[in-house]
């Protein structure tokens, strides 16, 4: 990554979505577009560190690019720790340092059906996927989530493509989610489609197993913790299909399902 990919931008807006409880608050953060010379691709991520952060928060935080246009970069995040709590308190006009776009990206075939599988905050990159796809009629989203739908940008997607969701409220719902993923992956295998998925590791493990079971091409976006985002800290490694460690920030975050193991 070249030095000019680290830029200072201003906050345009910080907006909580829905009516979440404090332990599940989801924030839509809008920043000035960083003016990336070569643009960005769906599935890539950025590292963000507000200028005002003290030294006890040395590292930036990684976030999938939710969407972007010529003026605005949109990020979606859930408040889960010290860093995201402080990000949620940013106000219009605050300065943040941002470096990116980083990592690999999803395929976007024009002539094949694409099934998007999202778990929780894994819905973020699919906003941009839908908006930038030349044939949205070929897309479908299945969304598994815990907070209510209004806490996510679900409606912005449902207005444009076919969607389906299951909310996890009780243990039986997890079994329903697993069963529905299996059914959908089988359906898209028969269509010779593409599976693209983003979500927590147990969710991706389910997708990976189903895609291998039915022999369908699948791309998974991993949500490993990161500190630097550029391959220096070795904090985001995962195991590939041969058992060797690979860095998610530089060789991912998008991997073919057959190329990684997702072992416990």
**pLDDT for 2:** 43
**pLDDT for 121:** 95
Compute φ and ψ for 145, nearest 5 degrees.
-155, 165
* Residue-wise DSSP of 46-95: EEEEETT--TTS-S-EEEEEEEE-SSEEEEEEE--SHHHHHHTT--TT-E
- 108 HSE (CA, 13 A, CB side): 17
Task: Give 125's contacts (C-beta < 8 A, 6+ positions apart).
Answer: 42, 43, 64, 65, 66, 106, 198, 221
**pLDDT for 263:** 74
**pLDDT for 229:** 54
**Parts of the chain belonging to CATH 3.40.50.80:** 114-259
Q: What sign for the dihedral angle of Cα 263, 79, 3, 45?
A: positive
| Fold category of 114-259 in CATH | Rossmann fold (3.40.50)
Per-residue pLDDT tens listing for the chain (264 residues):
444 478 899 999 999 998 766 667 999 999 999 999 888 999 999 999 988 876 666 777 899 999 999 999 999 999 988 889 999 999 999 999 999 899 999 999 989 999 999 999 999 999 999 999 999 999 999 999 999 999 999 999 999 999 999 999 999 999 999 999 999 999 999 999 999 999 999 999 999 999 999 999 999 998 756 555 555 555 556 666 666 666 666 666 899 999 888 776
**pLDDT for 1:** 41
**pLDDT for 233:** 59
**Parts of the chain belonging to CATH 2.40.30.10:** 3-102
8 A C-beta contact, residue 115 and residue 185: yes
3-102 is classed CATH 3.40.718.10: no
Q: What is the largest CA-CA distance in the chain?
A: 53
From the annotation, which residues make up the binding site for [2Fe-2S] cluster? 228, 233, 236, 249
User: How far is Cα 244 from Cα 261, in angstroms, rounded to an integer?
Assistant: 10
CA-based nearest residue to 260, from 232, 215, 219: 219
From the annotation, which residues make up the binding site? 61-64, 76-78, 83-84, 228, 233, 236, 249
Grouping H, G, I as helix, E, B as strand and the rest as coil, residue 174 is: helix
8 A C-beta contact, residue 127 and residue 153: yes
Residue 115 gets which letter from DSSP? Answer: E
From the annotation, which residues make up the binding site for FAD? 61-64, 76-78, 83-84
């Amino acid at each position: 990554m070249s030095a000019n990919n680290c830029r200072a931008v201003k906050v345009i807006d910080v907006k909580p979505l829905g009516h979440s409880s404090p332990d599940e608050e989801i924030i839509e953060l809008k920043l000035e577009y960083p003016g990336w010379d070569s643009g960005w691709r769906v599935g890539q991520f950025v590292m963000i560190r507000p200028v005002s952060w003290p030294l006890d928060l040395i590292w930036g935080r990684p976030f999938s690019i939710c969407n972007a246009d010529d003026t605005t970069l949109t990020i979606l995040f859930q408040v889960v720790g010290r860093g995201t709590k402080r990000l949620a308190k940013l106000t219009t006009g605050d300065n943040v340092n941002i470096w990116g776009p980083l990592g690999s990206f999803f395929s976007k075939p024009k002539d094949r059906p694409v099934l998007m599988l999202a778990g929780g905050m894994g819905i973020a990159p699919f906003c941009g996927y839908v908006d930038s796809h030349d044939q949205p009629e070929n897309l479908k989203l299945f969304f598994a989530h815990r907070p209510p739908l209004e806490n996510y940008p679900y409606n912005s997607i449902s207005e444009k493509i076919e969607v389906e969701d299951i909310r996890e409220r009780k243990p039986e719902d997890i079994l329903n989610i697993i069963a529905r993923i299996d059914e959908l992956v089988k359906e898209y295998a028969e269509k010779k489609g593409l599976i693209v998925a983003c979500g927590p590791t147990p969710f991706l493990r389910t997708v990976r197993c189903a895609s291998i079971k039915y022999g369908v091409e699948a791309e998974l976006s991993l949500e490993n913790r990161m500190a630097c985002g550029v391959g220096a800290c070795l904090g985001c490694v995962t195991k590939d299909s041969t058992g060797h460690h690979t860095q998610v920030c530089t060789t991912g975050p998008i991997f073919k399902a057959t190329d990684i193991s997702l072992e416990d």
